Copies of this chain bind each other. A is one copy, B any other.
Amino acid sequence: MNQTNALKETYYQSKYQLAQHGKRNIQVLKNAFENKDGKLESDMYGAGQVIEEFQEKMAALLGKEKAVFFPSGTMAQQIALRIWCDEKGVRKVAYHPLCHLEIHEEDGLKEIHHIETILLADKSRVIEMADVAEMRDDVACLLLELPQREIGGQLPSFEILKQISEYCKKKGIKLHLDGARLLEVLPFYQKSAAEVSALFDSVYISFYKGIGGIAGAILAGDGDFIANAKIWKRRYGGDLISLYPYIISADYYFEMRSTKMGQYYEEAKELAALFNSCHDITTIPLVPVSNMFHVHFLYAKEKVEPVLAEVQQQTGIGITSYLKDTDENTCYFEISLGDQYGIVPKAEVKHSFILLDKLMKQKFN
């Protein structure tokens, strides 16, 4: 077994894991459906009680006129940007260089919609007011991702958000929220989902991040926007005859976890502090602003892997199943807090970090 596999194996065989809600197995679906009456009718091509009620509930949560359930955020967000481009007659949008649409969607936005993208800020930080004000291109829409996932889940302040929103309104630029993890940042902002969404013209949220559902997304906005989004949803082949497997599980886990985001946030800060107390380990952000952060090591992946594997094997606490190299010859992994952290006995958590610190010092001092 090579050491990359050893890291993975010791993680999956560990008694406890620090991150996530638990295994992504089909029990996730079985639990959501267990107490549901089998006579409940399927949704049919976007109509029916199951989908309509959930859409109304999410529209209310986000303080928007209408909402539509999508099988994926990829589909929902490309469509949102296309609609705003069509409305303005400008095929240009702005977003962060590490935006999901830029790096994870096989260039769907460009290949399908021929929309040009303006990249704001640099890869290490979030978009600030100055980045927006300095933009010389006339774009149809600016997309902000809260939190910016690929840099550990960083956030601009709420004050900056308000400034950007006002500026965009004045300039005739639509503001779209990639809120895949919107609920996860509300405890930091101390705002409701509707208060944050009010700064945006359209909002997308996901149900398999902090919520821990199976898949699926909501796109919300005004009535015309959503009516248009439904047409595009059908064009994309996203208007499935039945989306209830995702909707019912989204609703089930929303009810279970949407109120626990404050707890995950506090735990993330606690856990990040533990990582930061270890030799040559730093989290980004240093103090998390949501349930997520990145854990950076000063050394390359192949040097750190055996250390983490040994900690996992000795303590039975799963820290990570993988490491990723960076361009600077360092490595990192992502962590998102969920239901599992609360289950690990505190003494064992503490013990594992004492061991991690010790082994890091032994190896890298």
Which residues does A use to contact B, with CB under 8 Å?
A: 23-30, 33, 36-42, 44, 70-76, 78, 105-108, 111-112, 208, 214-215, 231-232, 234-246, 248
Contact = CB atoms under 8 A, between A and B. Distances in A.
Given A75-B237, A107-B235, A241-B215, A41 B25 contact: yes
Contacts of A39: 23, 25, 27
B73 A237 contact: yes
B71 A237 contact: yes
A89 B328 CA distance: 42
A42 B71 contact: no
A301 to B, nearest CB: 21
A99 to B, nearest CB: 15
B238 A71 contact: yes
Contacts of A235: 105-108, 111-112
Contact of A38 (B30, B214, B231): B30
A71 B71 CA distance: 9
Contact of A40 (B26, B42, B248): B26
Nearest to A70: B237
Contact of A26 (B30, B42, B231, B241): B42
A78 B234 CA distance: 12
A243 B216 CA distance: 10
Output the residue of A26, A71, A106 with the most chain B CB within 10 A.
A26
Given A26-B36, A29-B245, A248-B26, A72 B238 contact: yes
Given A75-B238, A215-B240, 18 more contacts: A24-B42, A24-B44, A25-B38, A25-B42, A26-B33, A26-B42, A26-B248, A29-B245, A30-B33, A33-B33, A72-B237, A72-B239, A74-B236, A75-B237, A106-B235, A108-B237, A111-B235, A214-B245
Given A208-B241, A241-B215, A236 B42 contact: no
Q: Shortest 10 CB-CB distances between A and B: which pairs?
A: A75-B237, A27-B38, A74-B237, A245-B245, A108-B235, A72-B237, A24-B42, A215-B240, A106-B234, A106-B235
Nearest to A206: B241
A234 B105 CA distance: 6
A339 B71 CA distance: 30
Contacts of A76: 237
Contacts of A75: 236-238
B236 A237 contact: yes
Contacts of A33: 26, 29-30, 33
A40 B26 CA distance: 6
Contact of A237 (B40, B105, B239, B244): B105
